[in-house]
Structure 1
Amino acid sequence: MGMRVRAMGALRDLIRSLQKEAHPKPANPQSLPSLRRAFSLYDQINLIDNVPSDQLRFQRYTDTGFTVNGVDYEGSLLCVGNMLMSWAPNKFSQITTDSLSIFRTVRPVPEILILGCGRYIEPVSPELQRFIRSTGMKLEAIDTKNAVSTYNILNEEGRIVAAALLPYGMSS
């Protein structure tokens, strides 16, 4: 009986140590977590490291920019599928139908436009909502932290998605 109790205690200790290894505390609280992880008792495999080179992957955000596929970008970004470009607005009030006019011509039309509003979610004007609907896209206006994660997930799924992102430190 005593041997069985010791074995159970050793098993419990092994499970705890494996759980600690599998869920380390992030060093940088603004780093984005990997979206595809598989855990086993022996190792941790991160499948997201094998993202195709032509697929965009946001790895980090800061108050002034983003890290995408290992490259740092300052300022606002516009992403359409796997195309990335600098975007003029540097505060939410500068987002207009003109600043999003590229969506009048982009084909195929993305399913959804993820609007990263900066640190806080901002209300989208009815005019801008009408414009986005007229292009055939749905609109999701959320804070930038969640916008980049949502973009990563949808893009990894192979969905046609667009994102208009203000850096996290920007707002109204």
Structure 2
Amino acid sequence: MAGRQRVVAALPTLMRALRKESSLKPPVHQHQRLPSLRRAFSLYDQINLIDNVPEDQLRFQQFTDTGFTVNGVSYEGSLLCIGNLLMSWSPKKFSEINAESLSIFKMMRPIPEILVLGCGRHIHPVNPELRQFIRSTGMKLEAVDSRNASSTYNILNEEGRIVAAALLPYGVED
């Protein structure tokens, strides 16, 4: 009985401490964080995955309606990533993505095994001519919204696969 009274007496102090701790937490940013598939692995796998990611490996960390954060650096506009090479990409909307905007893949060696196409906020059907061009380079195509495209790129790149991503900002709607 005495133990229960001590617990009840300590409860208000504990509640004040918890409220104070929660008020010290930093505010939540408006930027949306990319979903992580690390939760699907055991704690041991998570530690190994984190430890084995090289410092020079590209990793998408956040996205906004106008750009992306990669390895702690914010980029505005569309991006083209090939392996661990990151560059600005000219298309501003989905209808501007064509064989010419992806012509770098005709010269690139080794050719990535997959191109992850980030269509903006919504998935768009890829026209047959563009599909044929991508297939002619030897790549497979995965067209998804830009949030999922950046996450897919992270996972495939961490696995050591040769992957490319062509990403429109998430806020782009065609």
Which residue number corresponds to residue 131 of structure 1?
Answer: 133
CA distance in 2, matches of 1:66, 1:169: 11
RMSD: 2.0
- Give the whole-Å Cα distance in 1 for the aligned partners of 2:70 and 2:48: 17
Report what 1:85 is aligned to. Answer: 87
Aligned length: 143
> How much does 1:30 deviate?
1.7
Q: Counterpart in 2 of 1:15?
A: none
> Is 1:144 matched with 2:152?
no
SS at match of 1:141: strand
* Counterparts of 1:83 and 1:93, CA distance in 2: 24
Shift of the alpha carbon at 1:168? 0.2
User: What letter is aligned with 1:150?
Assistant: T
Q: Look at both structures and tell me which one has the larger radius of gyration over its CA atoms.
A: 2
Give 1:89 deviation, angstroms.
0.4
Amino acid at match of 2:125: P
> Contact 2:78 / 2:91 at 8 angstroms: preserved in 1?
yes
- 1:45 Cα deviation (Å)? 5.3
Amino acid at match of 1:79: C
- The one-letter code of the counterpart of 1:148 is S
Change (3 A) 1:49 1:35: farther
Equivalent pair of 1:116/1:142 in contact (CA under 8 Å): yes
Give CA-to-partner distance per residue, 1:17-63, whole Å, 9 cap, x none.
xxxxxxxxxx45720244446548xxx95953763121000000100
Residue in structure 1 matching 2:161, options 129, 148, 159: 159
Unaligned runs of 5+ in 1: 1-26
Q: Deviations over 1:67-103 (max 9, x none)?
A: 0000000000000000000000010000010000000
Give CA deviations for 1:124-147 in whole Å, capped at 9, x if unaligned: 010000000000000010000100
2:66 aligned residue: 64
Paired with 1:33 and 1:130, the residues of 2 have a C-alpha distance of 31
* Alpha-carbon distance between aligned partners in 1 of 2:47 and 2:83, rounded to the nearest angstrom: 26
Residues 1-172 of structure 1 correspond to what in structure 2 (within 5 A)? 27=28, 30-36=32-38, 38-39=42-43, 47-48=49-50, 51-172=53-174
TM-score, L = length of structure 2: 0.76
What secondary structure, in the 3-state scheme, does the structure 1 residue paired with 2:92 have?
coil
The answer as to whether partners of 2:117 and 2:149 remain within 8 angstroms in 1 is yes
Divergent runs of 4+, >2 A? 33-40, 44-51
